[in-house]
Chain A
Amino acid sequence: MIIRKLCMRQSRQLLALSRRAPISSRFQSTLPESPVETLQTPIRDEISRSENPLFEMVQAQSEASTPAQQEFTSDEPQRSNFKKLGTSVKSSYDPENVIRNPPKPSQISLEMLLAAGTHLGHSTSRWNPQNSRYIFGIREGVHIISLDVTAAHLRRAAKVVEEVAARGGLILFAGTRKGQKRAVVQAASLAKGYHIFERWIPGSLTNGEQILGHCETKVVNALDEELPNFKSDLADRPSLKPDLVVCLNPLENVVLLHECGLNNVPTIGVIDTDADPTRVTYPIPSNDDSLRATCLIAGILGRAGEAGQLRRLKMAQEGRTSYTPITAQELRLDPFTGLATGGEGQKK
Chain B
Amino acid sequence: MNGPALSGRSPSLGQSEPRFANPIFFAPASTTSSPASVYLVFLICCLQSHRNSSFISSSFSYWLCPTIMGKINLTALRVRQTALNQFASGKTSKLPQWVGVVGEIPPAETLIRTRPPQHELVQQRLKTVPGSSKPQVVFQVQEKRRKPKKPSRLFQPVGLKYEEDQLRTQFFRDHPWELARPRVLLESTGKDFEHYDWSRIQQPGKRLDGESVVQRQLWLLNNVPDITKSAAYDIARREFYRLRLQEDIQRRVAAEEAAAYGAEFGPSYMDIGMKMENEQYDKWVAWARETSLVQDQRKSALSGAPDLGDTTESSEAEAEEGEAVTL
Contact = CB atoms under 8 A, between A and B. Distances in A.
Nearest to B82: A264
A46 to B, nearest CB: 41
Given A136-B160, A243-B96, A278-B110, A93 B102 contact: no
A12 to B, nearest CB: 56
Given A341-B94, A342-B93, A144 B12 contact: yes
A114 B10 contact: yes
A164 interface: yes
B77 A148 contact: no
Interface stretch (B67-75, B135-143, B289-297): B67-75
Nearest to A121: B157
A272 interface: no
B10 A283 contact: no
A19 interface: no
Contacts of B93: 339-342
Interface in B192-250: none
Interface string A226-263: 00000000000000000110000000000001001110
A124 B158 CA distance: 11
Contact of B76 (A91, A115, A124, A279): A279
B322 interface: no
A102 B106 CA distance: 26
Contacts of A132: 113-114, 116, 155-157
Interface in A266-301: 266-267, 277-283
Contacts of B116: 132, 135-137
A223 to B, nearest CB: 18
A281 B12 CA distance: 25
B108 interface: yes
B107 interface: yes
A99 to B, nearest CB: 16
B101 A144 contact: no
Contacts of A135: 116, 157
A203 to B, nearest CB: 18
A133 interface: yes
A344 B96 CA distance: 9
A88 B142 CA distance: 48
A114 B5 contact: yes
B46 to A, nearest CB: 13
A91 B204 CA distance: 14
Contact of A137 (B5, B16, B74, B119): B119
B86 interface: yes
A144 B9 CA distance: 14
B187 A115 contact: yes
A136 B105 contact: no
Nearest to B119: A137
Given A136-B12, A147-B12, 18 more contacts: A129-B155, A132-B155, A132-B157, A133-B110, A136-B116, A146-B12, A148-B16, A156-B105, A160-B101, A160-B102, A168-B97, A169-B97, A243-B98, A261-B76, A262-B75, A266-B80, A281-B77, A283-B110
